[in-house]
Every structure is written in C-alpha cells, then in structure tokens.
Amino acid sequence: MATAIASIASRLRAILPADRVLDGPAALIPYAFDASFWSLRARRMPDVVVLPETTDEVAAIVRLAAQTGTPIVARGAGTGQAGGAVAARGGIVIAFAHMRRILAIDRTDLQCVTEPGIVYADLNATLAGHGLFFPPDPGSGRACTVGGMVANNASGPHAVKWGTTSAYVLGAEVVLADGTVIVTGGARSKALKSSSGIDLTKLFVGSEGTLGILTKLRLRVQPRPPARAVVLAAYDVLEDTVRALDDLFAAGILPATAELLDRSAVDALMKWRPDLDLPQGEAVLFIEIEGTKTSVSASVREVEAIVQRRATTTRLAEDEAAIQRLWAARGGLAAATALLFPGKHRIFAGEDLAVPISEIPRTVRRAREIGEETGVTVLFYGHFGDGNVHSGIVIDPEDPDEVRRADELADRLHRLAIEVGGTVTGEHGTGAVRAAYMRAEHGPALDVMRRVKRALDPQGLLNPGKLDLDPGKLDLEVPEG
C-alpha cells in the first residue's frame, strides 16, 4: 500500500508542481481534522494533499483517483463540524486554498462567479464595494469557504429572511467522479431563474463532495440593505418567544434574524462581558430589522411595540457600533463558555438540531433534561427564527466517562430532533458524524440518495464514509431493477 501511495504521489507530481503535492507526515497533519469532536478524537490522515489552481488540474487529479481506485475528498477551510472534509478512508485530499478568485461580479444581473476556495468574508468585502452581498452568513464566515458552504448548504442567523446557501446557487462547474467537467444551471446561462431540465445544481448543493467536486460557482447576490436595527427582548418563559415571533408573523413582519439565547447562554455571556448588560429571563431574543434608514427607523419601533406585549424587558440598538457590539457578544459564546468552565472544552457534537419553530420550547426543555440525566453541561442558543437550535456541550475531553456521557447526550439530541419533526442538522451537514441517522430521518428516500450516488460515483471514491451512501450498503439494500 505504501508503494502504491508513493506512486500516486509521484504521478500527482506529474500533474501539479511538486510544492502543491504534500505527502510528508507533518504537512498532512492539519488535514486530518475539522472542527468536529469526531475528528479530534482519532487522527485520520490523508495519504496525500493536493492544491490545484485550475479546473483542468482538478479534473486530472480526479481522473488519476478513478484510474487507481483512490478515495478523494474535497476540502475548503476545514471548519465543518461533521467530519465532512476529513479523509475517513485515507486517499487524496483536494484542498482549494489556491482557487479563491472572484471571476465576475455583475450588479445589474445580481450575480457573481467565484472559485470555491474564496473565504465567505472576503467575497462579501469585495461585493460590498458594489453595493451587494451574498446573504448566507455562517458564524464561521471569516474562515469558511464558499465551496464548503455550498457543499454543506450552510446558513446562519439571516436565513430567517434570506434563506440558506441553496437559494443562491444559480449554477456550478462540477468535476464528476470520472474526471468529466459539467456546468449545471445552463452551460452559458446568466439567467436568474430557470425551469429547464432537472435541477442538477440543487443535487450538488448539500451533497458534501460525495457526488462531484465544485470548481466554479455562479451565485445570486442581493443589494445590500443600507441600515439595520436590533430589538433585544427578554422573556420569562420560552413559550413566549414562539408567541412573540408569531405575533410578528401575524402583523406581516418577517425579521432578518431572530436569534435565541437560552438562560444558560445569557449567563455565560454575562460572566464574560458584564458590560453587555443583557436582560434576564428564561430566554432572550435578538431581532434584527433591515432596510433603508427611514424604513428601519419606523419598523424597528413597530417590532418593539409588538414584542413588548409578551416580553419582560426590551431594548433597542440603532447605532451601528451598538449593533456590532451585540453581534460580537453573540459570536463570543465559545470564549464565554471557556471562562465559565475553566479546564473544560466546548465540543461540536449534537450541535445543530433544526426543529419546527413551534417545537423549540419542548426541544430545549427536553434537551436540558437529557443534559441533566447524562450529567453533562450543555448551553443552548440558536437561529430561533428558523428553528435551528445549537447546543454547546462542555466537557473535559480527557475524562473517558464524561466523553461517553457526551456521546450519549449527542445521540439523544439527534434522536430528539427527529422525534419532534426536525432534522439532525440544520446547516452544519451530515458528514461522518451524522451518517448513522440518515435512515431514521429519510426512510426509503435514503435508498434513492444511494442510487444517485451509484449513478454518479460507481466506484464510491468521492468522500467515502459520509452521508451513509457507500456502495457496499447500496448493493445489500437496494435490489437491482
């Protein structure tokens, strides 16, 4: 095997300059991890990492993988929390750090074309100069790549109003498992919508590198709203947060974000930054309104008047510095957690449930009970406006019994999400970590996913061990014909 890998590395050096083919053990280590606890517990090294600069290089690498039966795993920034970018079965990791160009920005046609390795925040910084933005805004936006976002169908707080990455992918250049290059969404199209043919773009979005490798993305962008304001509202009981949001819906108002901080998260933040002076209650909502300066000024007051009906306290943040301070605090939950539980670590496991909005109180209450039953500390917060409940499990990773109990907690949280009519992952993806829940969540539809996988990747070389799609299983469970 060692000789076979050495020969693949040397054949890769015939495709790429030697400095873009890494196979020294020290150089490979960073690629053995992403942000998942799964990857931190056991090192899974790729055999070789390649850093292509063009689609032709990607296609040649994939053809070599196909000829030699070598697994191939695409990697953006490795911020995924489900083990998606980790080579579970070894093989080639194809990293996109050298393919991060913005190829076109067109304001009139509301779109841009980028390579997959561009970092989300860099794309938005450039778009801002054109009065535009790419709305899906993951918390990891200063590090994660747009390719990783498309592959995971990432999103963030603003998905309430703007939707997830999927809504913004108009087309993609994709290298298929045999090295063929296709363009989805119309080979020459610059249209903003299309009813033509089967929507292959949607098929690749969220497929986490299991069906093809994305090498170019045609993305819809939006005019950047020039103004925003935040209403902070505290509630005595969780159920009132759902009622408050429903009051807004009844008034015909869809906020840009409605973020939830459970009491556990408020306590952590207040310990870290007492100057934030967050209001107390079982839950706090951050409701953001966007628009023009005039419209925001009027609608933020209307929103405050509506949420005041059920809130114990409300507060407005209208100047940009105050708004940014609140968002920075929300983004600092991990730091706050470290302060609250010295010697422990926040791990990413069971962290991304999405449930119907109406089920959030029941989910959070039951999840708190499961935390108590397993004796594991867990904080809750999330993108309340679209039912995305994040849990922050805090443990000492060196304590085997605590790790075992954290595994049980994460498993029970995943099962809880399915039980209440939700999903095990709202935005972070399935990867290796959540593959075991695919049958419970999707039923017979999983077999159709496996058929699609077999049609596009008959050797099962694209990101094997993820999403429960491997061909071995397919042969056992899906009869021919």
Ligand X SMILES: Cc1cc2nc3c(=O)[nH]c(=O)nc-3n(C[C@H](O)[C@H](O)[C@H](O)COP(=O)(O)OP(=O)(O)OC[C@H]3O[C@@H](n4cnc5c(N)ncnc54)[C@H](O)[C@@H]3O)c2cc1C
Find, among 208, 213, 128, the residue nearest to 427 by Cα.
Answer: 208
Note whether 80 binds ligand X by CB under 6 A: yes
Least distance in angstroms from the C-beta of 211 to ligand X: 8
The window from 8-16, 208-216, 315-323, 396-404 that contacts ligand X (CB under 6 A) reads 208-216
Q: Which of 31, 37, 96, 168 binds ligand X (CB under 6 A)?
A: 96
Nearer to ligand X, 102 or 478 (CB): 102
d(CA 172, CA 74) in angstroms, rounded, equals 15
Note whether 124 binds ligand X by CB under 6 A: no
DSSP conformation class of 444 = T
CB-CB neighbours of 215 under 10 Å: 26
What residues have CB less than 8 Å from 93, skipping those under 6 apart?
Answer: 31, 46, 48, 49, 50, 72, 73, 74, 75, 85, 87
Nearer to ligand X, 10 or 324 (CB): 324
- 59-78 binders of ligand X (CB under 6 A): 73-78
Nearer to ligand X, 94 or 403 (CB): 94
Note whether 114 binds ligand X by CB under 6 A: no
Cα–chain-centroid distance for residue 94? Answer: 19
Per-residue mark of binding to ligand X, 22-61 (x: CB under 6 A):
------------xx--------------------------
What residues have CB less than 8 Å from 55, skipping those under 6 apart?
Answer: 173, 175, 181, 215, 216
The window from 25-33, 153-161, 241-249, 445-453 that contacts ligand X (CB under 6 A) reads 153-161
The structure tokens listed for 107 are: 């304001």
Q: Are 73 and 467 in contact (CB under 8 A)?
A: no
Nearer to ligand X, 57 or 282 (CB): 57
Note whether 79 binds ligand X by CB under 6 A: yes
Find, among 417, 392, 426, the residue nearest to 406 by Cα.
Answer: 392
Q: Are 222 and 110 in contact (CB under 8 A)?
A: yes
Report the run of H or E that residue 253 belongs to, with start and end.
Answer: none
Nearer to ligand X, 52 or 371 (CB): 52
Nearer to ligand X, 73 or 379 (CB): 73
d(CA 152, CA 377) in angstroms, rounded, equals 28
d(CA 80, CA 85) in angstroms, rounded, equals 7
Nearer to ligand X, 303 or 469 (CB): 469
Least distance in angstroms from the C-beta of 306 to ligand X: 27
The structure tokens listed for 416 are: 């809880």
Least distance in angstroms from the C-beta of 154 to ligand X: 3
Least distance in angstroms from the C-beta of 464 to ligand X: 11
What residues have CB less than 8 Å from 76, skipping those under 6 apart?
Answer: 85, 96, 116, 117, 144, 145, 146, 147, 148, 149, 151
Least distance in angstroms from the C-beta of 313 to ligand X: 27
Nearer to ligand X, 173 or 359 (CB): 173
d(CA 422, CA 426) in angstroms, rounded, equals 9
d(CA 33, CA 473) in angstroms, rounded, equals 26
Pairing of strands 388-395, 345-347: antiparallel
Note whether 371 binds ligand X by CB under 6 A: no
Least distance in angstroms from the C-beta of 226 to ligand X: 24
Least distance in angstroms from the C-beta of 415 to ligand X: 22
The window from 127-135, 206-214, 300-308, 353-361 that contacts ligand X (CB under 6 A) reads 206-214
Nearer to ligand X, 230 or 311 (CB): 230
Nearer to ligand X, 12 or 159 (CB): 159
d(CA 255, CA 178) in angstroms, rounded, equals 45
Least distance in angstroms from the C-beta of 3 to ligand X: 27
Q: Which of 139, 206, 361, 392 binds ligand X (CB under 6 A)?
A: 139
- 431-460 binders of ligand X (CB under 6 A): 431
Query: Facing residues of 74 across strands?
Result: 94
Note whether 87 binds ligand X by CB under 6 A: no
Least distance in angstroms from the C-beta of 248 to ligand X: 22
What is the binding site for ligand X (CB under 6 A)?
Answer: 34-35, 73-81, 84-85, 96, 116, 138-140, 144-145, 147-149, 151-152, 154-156, 208-209, 213-214, 427-429, 431, 463
